[in-house]
Amino acid sequence: MLRMLALIMFLTGIQIVSYAKEKKLNVLLIMADDVGFECFSSYGSKEYSTPNLDALAESGIRFTQTHSTPLCTPSRVNLMSGKSNVFNYEDFGVYPNNEPTFGNHFLKQGYRTAVAGKWQLQATMPGKGISPSQAGFETSCLWNIPGGARERYWQPSFVRDGDLMDLPDDAFGPDVMTDFLIDFIQDDSDSPFLAYYPMILVHDPFVPTPQSEGGLRKDKTNRSPNRKKQNYIDMVHYMDHCVGRLIKAVEETGQRDQTLIIFTSDNGTNAALSSKLHGKTVRGGKGYTHDYGTHVPLIVNLPGRVPPNRTCKDLIAFSDFFPTIVEAAGLPPKSIQDGDGWSFWPQCVGQKGTPRDWIYGYYFPRPYSEKLDNKYSHYQVRYARDHRYKLYDNGDLHDTITDVMETSPLPSSSQSDDSPQGAARVKLQRALDSYPAAGLNIRHQMVKGTRKPGSGKRSNYERD
């Protein structure tokens, strides 16, 4: 009898192990809105409190050289398509409707897919952009999508699966989005999930949160300029609170060990705000191509596969996320025309991988605007950078360590062939030359004869 019981337990154990091996990996990809690396306690901040993200970093890996594009829509297009904006960026608020996303890819592999948060990829002009379902998401709860109004925090206006939501007067937008994803994560299904959370936090307006001093302080008097910084600090803390709720939800399903959690941000902090980090004042760089506009956090966590308490200095570009989550999930690679993303999954699991020597950047958020060099648009700019130096297509070479704000290009006298600056220029020029000299729309307009090539002038101002 004992032998028979032991045999049953042994065979049952084999079945459990086999089932665990066959169970596909879940993916929870979280991207905050308008918050640079300087606003996280896991990156050394004493001004902001992000304990849930700190815990994710301590039990996972934290990347210290991740760079987005400087503005929201370009980063979203870059992230979701796995390719640089120079190949496929059409206009602000638009995702190209013939460009597959990671949502499409995971859906085809049998995943349940959901997106909640800020969409901003479906302009109101006919034929511009894609809907969440076209992007491969079976269910959605979104702000900044046709059918909704503009409010995102208190008394928000959201569209869920195509219908305007009827929300209570005391609803706080981030809670609505987080609740939606918790319900999705905890759905009783045998299928693995991909949950994409492009958060509405912490973009302006800077408002009190439900956890701010005094409770639900949502009246307009608390949005005054003298409360702006404190409200922003509260919003960063609440962003972390929402992340903690999602982690708890995954744990409650018993799937934490098979759920990859990735956290990042779409661009740097709002330029109206300054923060303290390691004794320095860091002014937000959203819209600017210097490091305070592109340097964002990246935390990756998967118990049992991503070793704990590690940091990685490898360069990471937003094109890299698509191939990374595909490799992590063990899915067939996606063939992407002009795809320039490199998987950093090997680095996540403790291997050397294939570190980048450089990152290429392309920035032209409103190519159809007639108002250049002001808050409505921006000159086309291309650049390549390594860990220290950044070369623009107008020939300016900057040292991003000694001149993080890029106030003065390095003098040509310091760039001899045998100098570090000279070697960097040669390497980064090769990187620039490996990409088209103009973006998709500019190339099309030049062919049609409606626009002349860009002047090459670099303007780092964009605030929408």
* Residue with tokens 């996320």, as numbered in its chain: 321
Model's pTM, two decimal places?
0.90
pLDDT at 412: 85
pLDDT at 227: 83
pLDDT at 57: 98
φ, ψ at 263 (rounded to 5°): -125, 135
Query: Which residue segments constitute the domains of the chain, with CATH numbers given?
Result: 25-359 (3.40.720.10), 361-448 (no CATH)
Length of the chain measured in residues = 464
pLDDT at 119: 96
The H-assigned helical ranges of 253-384 are 291-294, 321-328, 345-348
pLDDT at 134: 96
Task: Specify whether the CB–CB gap between 296 and 66 falls below 8 A.
Answer: yes
pLDDT in tens, the chain (464 residues): 444 444 444 444 444 333 334 689 999 999 999 999 999 999 999 999 999 999 999 999 999 999 999 999 999 999 999 999 999 999 999 999 889 999 999 999 999 999 999 999 998 777 789 999 999 999 999 999 988 888 999 999 999 999 999 999 999 999 999 999 999 999 988 999 999 999 999 999 999 999 997 555 455 445 555 688 999 999 999 999 999 999 999 999 999 999 999 999 999 999 999 999 999 999 999 999 999 999 999 999 999 999 999 999 999 999 999 999 999 999 999 989 899 999 999 999 999 999 999 999 999 998 876 555 455 467 899 999 999 999 999 999 999 999 999 999 998 877 888 899 999 999 999 999 999 998 887 776 655 555 544 433 333 333 33
E strand spans, 259-357: 259-265, 274-277, 280-283, 295-301, 310-317
* Residue with tokens 């596909």, as numbered in its chain: 24
pLDDT at 222: 53
Task: Specify whether the CB–CB gap between 400 and 390 falls below 8 A.
Answer: yes
Beta-carbon count within 10 A of 171 CB: 17
Residue type, 266: D
Element (H, E) at 65: strand 61-67
pLDDT at 218: 53
Six-digit token pair at 164? 């305007």
